[in-house]
Amino acid sequence: MSRRETTERHSDLVVGYDGSPAAAAAVTWAAGEAELLGARLRIITGASYSAFAAGPYAGPVIQDLEDGARSIGEEGQRLAAKSLPASDILVEPIVGSVSNALVEASADARMVVVGTRGRGGAASALLGSVSFAVTAHALCTAVVVPEPSEDRSKQGPVVVGVDGSPASAVAVDHASDHAVRHGLSLVVLSAWQRPMSPGLQEASWGMPDPSWGESARSEAEENADNAVDSVHERHPHLAVDVQVVEGAAGPALTAASRTADLVVVGTRGLGGFDRLLLGSVSRA
């Protein structure tokens, strides 16, 4: 995400719903967030074209698909109505690609929300095709909501990964705002790694220079300190904890997610290429 992309010009929250448990969790989360933000909620639900949609039975088939999508959307509306008045909930059934519809809607949205996996996702696929496409291409803040789990903390802190990049700075702003809005604490997590594994360094060039690791750790600590300063400029009274850990950022943030209320990262960090819309850490 970039500062341009996350400018809050629009008030609607957009959520995808297909009737799956993860999608139900996404609608529930999005409705609660919309209530706090004073925003409307747009529920997009859809059905893909079938082989008959282009044949002689196209009209009736498409009508059946639209009716099915509308019925599922109304189910999502009932879930959202537990937090929002009916006037603040819009249902948008479509026939076609839900991924494309959500990405297009993100251009005019404050936030787009999806579940980890929909009805078409295999159990082993931790990030489904729709959620992956939306997080990779959304033009606003994208949130992926997992299915409810009994072993997760019900009210943990907000965790934000920082690496000193511009996208990281945006993530810090978003994370601190969310923490204040929900009355949560904030954890700033900065990970560092040695330039190469000690075994490979020893095999190729002798023992590694200890200063390499110290330099990487110092940079991670500086990134964390700068993030805390930025948070306190924005929210002086927000409780902030700092975690500087050795290892890859993806696994460190994944581990932190087990007890977190929300994990926030930028789309690309310092190690990302411009052509990659979703970096390795944010994908992990």
Name 259's Cβ contacts closer than 8 Å, sequence gap at least 6: 152, 153, 156, 157
Exposed/middle/buried for residue 97 (C-beta within 10 Å: 0-12, 13-18, 19+): middle
Say if residues 173 and 142 touch (Cβ distance below 8 Å). no
Q: What is the tens place of the pLDDT at every residue in 2-33?
A: 333 334 445 799 999 999 999 999 999 999 99
**What is the rounded CA–CA span in Å between residue 73 and residue 203?**
60
Q: What is the tens place of the pLDDT at every residue in 77-126?
A: 999 999 999 999 999 998 888 899 999 999 999 999 999 865 554 333 34
Number of Cβ within a 10 Å radius of residue 253: 22
Those residues of the chain that have pLDDT short of 50 are: 1-9, 51-52, 121-127, 200-205, 269-278
What is residue 267's predicted lDDT score, i.e. its pLDDT?
78
| SS3 label, residue 142 | strand
Q: Which CATH number fits domain 13-145: 3.40.50.300, 3.40.50.620, 3.40.50.2300, 3.50.30.10?
A: 3.40.50.620
Name 200's Cβ contacts closer than 8 Å, sequence gap at least 6: none
Q: Which CATH number fits domain 158-283: 3.40.50.2300, 3.40.50.850, 3.60.20.30, 3.40.50.620?
A: 3.40.50.620
What is residue 164's predicted lDDT score, i.e. its pLDDT?
92
As a whole number of Å, the end-to-end CA separation of the chain is 16
Sheet holding 89-95, edge to edge: 89-95, 41-47, 13-16, 111-115, 141-145
What is residue 274's predicted lDDT score, i.e. its pLDDT?
42
In this structure, is the dihedral angle defined by the CA atoms of residues 48, 54, 57 and 63, taken in order, positive or negative? positive
Where exactly are the structural domains of the chain?
13-145, 158-283
Q: What are phi and psi of 97, to 5 degrees?
A: -80, 115
What is residue 204's predicted lDDT score, i.e. its pLDDT?
47
Query: Looking up tokens 């934000």, which residue turns up?
Result: 160
E runs forming strands in the chain: 13-16, 41-47, 89-95, 111-115, 141-145, 158-161, 186-192, 240-246, 262-264
**What is the rounded CA–CA span in Å between residue 234 and residue 174?**
11
**pTM tops 0.85, yes or no:** no
Say if residues 188 and 224 touch (Cβ distance below 8 Å). yes
Q: Residue 134's closest CA among 120, 148, 147, 115?
A: 115
| SS3 label, residue 46 | strand
**What is the rounded CA–CA span in Å between residue 82 and residue 143?**
20
For residue 237, the number of C-alpha atoms closer than 13 Å in the C-beta half-sphere is: 3
What is residue 277's predicted lDDT score, i.e. its pLDDT?
42
Asked whether this chain's domains 13-145 and 158-283 adopt the same fold, the reply is: yes
One-letter amino acid of 156: G
